[in-house]
Amino acid sequence: MILSTSSGDFPIPPDVATRLPRVPPVPDPTAPQYRKARRAFTHWLDAEPSHTIDFERLRRWHLVQNQLAAAARAEGRTFVVTEDGLD
């Protein structure tokens, strides 16, 4: 698995990947079947309260990892994807 951030793409270590919530990809507005994909995603999100929680946990994790990657880049350090932001 790869994490894409504004600072680049980074491999997600297997131990981190196993802790990530399972969330379908957010539909791409430029995709040909966007409306259908958006409806399916919304249906998935509304199907269970835990889906919304999982989506928010993953979203927050992405934000934290993006910040950590940017800080590492600014300081000239190597960035390694972590679990920071999951809990």
Got the DSSP string for 33-52? THHHHHHHHHHHHHH-HHHH
Write down the domain spans for the chain.
1-20+43-87
64 contacts: CB under 8 Å, gap ≥ 6: 84, 85
Return d(Cα 84, Cα 67) in angstroms, integer.
11
Taking all residues of the chain, what is their mean pLDDT, rounded to a whole number? Answer: 96
pTM, two decimal places: 0.89
Task: Give pLDDT tens digits for 45-77.
Answer: 999 999 999 999 999 999 999 999 999 999 999
Return d(Cα 83, Cα 62) in angstroms, integer.
10
